[in-house]
Chains A and B, each alone.
Chain A
Amino acid sequence: MSRGLPLHWRLTLLITLVSSLTLGVAIGGYYWIEVQKIHTAVANNAGKVATQAARLVTENLERGERLPDDYFRLAFVDNENIQAAVVYEPKNRNRMAGGWIRAGSGASIGSLSSTYNLRLSTDWISGFLNQFSPETVYIQKPLRTGDGRLLGTLVLTAAASDEELSNLIEPSAVGMLVLLSMLGSLAASRFLQRGISGPIVKLAKVAHKVARDSDYTTRAEISDGGETGVLIDAFNSMLTTIQQRDAELVVAKNNAEQARERLADSHAKLEEINRTLEAKVTERTIEMHKAMTAAREANHAKSSFLAKMSHELRTPMNAIIGYAEMLIEDASDRDDKAAIQDLRKILSAARHLLGLINVVLDLSKIEAGKMDLYLESFDVWTFVHDVVPTAQPLIDRNKNQLKVDCAENFGQMRADATKLRQILLNLLSNASKFTDEGVVHLRVERDGSGPREMVVMSIQDSGIGMNGEQLGRLFQVFSQADKSTSAKYGGTGLGLAISRQFARLMGGDITVVSKPGEGSTFIVRIPIEVAPVRAGEDAPPTAKSVPAPAPVPAAGSAPSPSPASPPANRRGRVLVIDREPMQQALQEMLTADGYLVSCVTSVPDALTRGKEVRPHAVLFDLLAGGAAGAQWFAELKASPVFAGVPLVLLAPNSESHRGFAVGTNDIVTSPADGPALLATLSRFVAPRTENPILVVEDDNPTREMIVRMVEREGWPVRTAEHGEAALAQLATFTPSLVLLDLLMPGLDGFAVLRMMRETPAWREIPVVVVTSLDLNPETRQLLDQQAQKVLKKGSYSREELLREVRNSVSEFMRRRASSPPFSAAGAPDSSPKP
């Protein structure tokens, strides 16, 4: 059986084979049983016959008669089962007394022993059935007389007749039967298939369909019970499981999808929250800024109110003090001592009140950040000994002694002398106020141990001293050790607070060491070189310079630094002399406009720096010098360092400083208006340009002088000795300016100018005519139309020439930036020049 055959074919084959086999065995069995039956019948028949024959033969032999030869033939010929009948003599078993053998039977009669080997002859059917045919039956009957004497032995051979056997099975019937049975088995197998293979095949189809379509809802039909049913059940339940799993999978997938969506949603929400947060932060920041601004404004308003109030209070005080003094003078003239005493009390009270007002004003200024330092260098010993006489009356009041330790060669310090004096007076006054008949010791020393050298002034007294709690409140505004102290000793406690603020403003501080009953020591520490500061800021170095390319914001924007920027030196170097706070604004503004800015705070500094920087222009704020402004200005002008360097003056009002106009290139009203200042500066410091200036001049010394002047300003220069050479040069490059002589051999300046104005490519190039000619009005008008400026040789100053050069180059660059291709530029610039 091939395994490749379909199941139903295998089943059919199996059933057919099995049924055929069964049929064969049945037929064979049946035949064998029938043969056994025939055999038994033959044996019985032969037995009966043998018994009869034996009686007869015995009777015959007893009588001694000889058996007739035909006797056996006649006796057995009709009985077809009997093949032979032989009687052997009793003594000799091999000697026959007589016998008969059926003709054609094939049986041979020999001795008695061989007789048993007798075989029946058979035809082809008998031969085929020989193996089934029963043995030939031999029946042996001893022939005995009544008295037991053996007369002989009768042997009878019997066998089923050929006819009996051949009739037993009909071959055609058997064949028919086999055929029928096979057909039947086929039919049966077909029927059986329906029950067994049918469902399995269907199941297979269903499985195939499920596999192909992944349709787990399909179910195999249950057509019967049994194993197939179980199988289908199992398959269905498997499908159910799969379907369930599939459904679960789908659900899980959906869940995952939903989770993903929720995640994305959450993410979006988070982003939204982030954005909101950012917005909120921005909002809060703005609010905070607003609040800060409001607070600052409020504080400013408060300070401004205090300042105003102080002023308003001061005016009547002015009158009170003034009249009191007058009355004291009058009373002195009259020698009215009683009046003098009373008036002095008025004066004293008024001065005290004025002191309070001043302190309040100072405090408000410190709070408003408006307290400025006026730094000056002074000799410390002289300073201290100037203060002492002022303090002496305070010391004397409580019968104290003042001891001063200060080296006469102490040297100079640079600080705000007025404020330091105020500090010292305040501390000496305090020390004396809380000491009776004691010693107030002022020591002045240097301390070089820290990063900055300090002047240390210690004021030690032998007074009442203070406990820790009192020390804690000491420097607070309106705080004295306690109320009784204030009642006894007077004063407001403002002095110490102010003193400390002043010291801190100068980059120093005031500390105190004290024990009740043992006196106090106040220690003032001030840098020997106080840095100019804005109140509340840390001290920066005295002079700042900005050598690195500074940021330049886009044109028109506020001068705030921006990272992307062209090189800062595209315009030139400017040295700014101004106070620290102003410097920053100026520096930002100028740097933004492309200048390389160096800043110093004083003219002496400027002279030093100027040598290094070699500025193209100096910007000097007259107010930077304070009272020394005029002197500084003179120094600046006298210095060879800045000879020929344009000087722009920043002054409160240009009219009031006409005196400075001599030797000043321009005066800009301060506070400087940005665009005005930049415009002024740009007249003196032209933008750096790569386009050379073409000097057309036939006179060698004049040409060289002009070239030197222009080169000194940092511009590239080319020269031409006559008109033709100038035109040849113009053909090779575009100058940012042509300085043109009029009288030249060959092609003169007039011709060059005319040709330049007629050639579109050269039309926009600015021209400054430098001539020694006395021009008639017509010529002058013509030149004014064609050239930017006409300068008369011998009558223009160097500054004038350079100013024209700068203006023209600036104009050239400005125009160039707005309309890059020269040839595409519009009509010639023929507008009249001033």
Chain B
Amino acid sequence: MPKILLVEDNEMNRDMLARRLEKRGYTVVIAVDGQSGVNLARSEKPDLILMDMSLPIIDGWEASRQLKADAAVATIPIIALTAHAMAEDREKALAAGCNEYETKPVDLASLLGKIEVLLRPPAQ
């Protein structure tokens, strides 16, 4: 099953999202800050990254930038989880290299749809 790296500092959100994803069969790897997120992405090579933007140490935008700048992990799709409904944050996320975004509170159906699209093999 696809492996998803969830980078989220808020414990409840992390726990809830991880459990719901796992319930749908995904393997979920957890990181609680931007820096460990980047590190885990490099070591675990997940199929997809769910990245919160407001993170300690380095924020989600910076982490995304670093990941997209690293050829080894640049191809891993990133879905930004923006708590801000502000459009700037969305655009900032896209500009930072994220492939998609989902506004918090997460609409699970919508998020699952996006995950599926991004995990679809490019041949299709």
| A positions within 8 Å CB-CB of B | 307, 311, 314-319, 321-323, 325-326, 329, 354, 358, 361, 365, 370, 372, 374, 622-623, 626-627, 629, 651-653, 655-658
- B38 CB → nearest A CB, Å: 14
Interface of A is mostly: helix
A322 partner, pick from B65, B69, B83, B105, beta carbons under 8 A: B105
Provide the bound-state CA to CA distance between A652 and B19, in Å.
34
Interface of B is mostly: helix
Indicate if the CB atoms of B105 and A317 lie closer than 8 Å: yes
When C-beta atoms are compared, the residue in chain B nearest to A351 turns out to be B105
Q: Would A311 and B83 be within 8 Å (CB), given that A318-B105, A322-B106, A325-B108 are in contact?
A: yes
User: B82-120 vs A: 1/0 string, CB under 8 Å?
Assistant: 011111000110111100000011101000000000000
Indicate if the CB atoms of B87 and A372 lie closer than 8 Å: yes
Indicate if the CB atoms of A656 and B97 lie closer than 8 Å: yes
Tally the A-B contacts, defined by beta carbons under 8 Å.
76
Q: Would A656 and B64 be within 8 Å (CB), given that A361-B85, A372-B87, A374-B87 are in contact?
A: yes
Could you say which residues of chain A place their CB within 8 Å of the CB of B94?
626-627, 629
When C-beta atoms are compared, the residue in chain A nearest to B54 turns out to be A311
Provide the bound-state CA to CA distance between A307 and B13, in Å.
20
Provide the bound-state CA to CA distance between A329 and B20, in Å.
9
Could you say which residues of chain A place their CB within 8 Å of the CB of B12?
316, 318-319, 322-323
Provide the bound-state CA to CA distance between A801 and B16, in Å.
58
Indicate if the CB atoms of A318 and B96 lie closer than 8 Å: no
Provide the bound-state CA to CA distance between A440 and B68, in Å.
51
- A369 CB → nearest B CB, Å: 13
Name which of A622, A629, A653 has the most chain B CB atoms within 10 A of its CB: A653
- A619 CB → nearest B CB, Å: 16
B39 proximal to A (CB < 8 A): no
Q: Would A319 and B87 be within 8 Å (CB), given that A326-B16, A622-B95 are in contact?
A: no
Provide the bound-state CA to CA distance between A622 and B86, in Å.
18
Indicate if the CB atoms of B65 and A318 lie closer than 8 Å: no
Q: Would A652 and B96 be within 8 Å (CB), given that A314-B83, A329-B23 are in contact?
A: yes
- A470 CB → nearest B CB, Å: 31
B106 partner, pick from A318, A370, A651, beta carbons under 8 A: A318
Indicate if the CB atoms of B84 and A311 lie closer than 8 Å: yes
Q: Can you spell out 16 A-B residue pairs with CB atoms less than 8 angstroms apart?
A: A314-B83, A314-B105, A318-B10, A318-B12, A318-B106, A321-B105, A322-B17, A322-B108, A329-B23, A623-B91, A653-B65, A653-B96, A656-B64, A656-B97, A657-B95, A658-B69
Provide the bound-state CA to CA distance between A629 and B65, in Å.
17
Indicate if the CB atoms of A318 and B104 lie closer than 8 Å: yes
- B106 CB → nearest A CB, Å: 7
Indicate if the CB atoms of B68 and A656 lie closer than 8 Å: yes
Indicate if the CB atoms of A323 and B95 lie closer than 8 Å: no
Indicate if the CB atoms of B95 and A653 lie closer than 8 Å: yes
A307 partner, pick from B16, B86, B97, beta carbons under 8 A: B86
Indicate if the CB atoms of A315 and B92 lie closer than 8 Å: no
Could you say which residues of chain A place their CB within 8 Å of the CB of B84?
311
- B81 CB → nearest A CB, Å: 10
Could you say which residues of chain B place their CB within 8 Å of the CB of A307?
86
Indicate if the CB atoms of B69 and A656 lie closer than 8 Å: yes
Indicate if the CB atoms of A651 and B105 lie closer than 8 Å: no
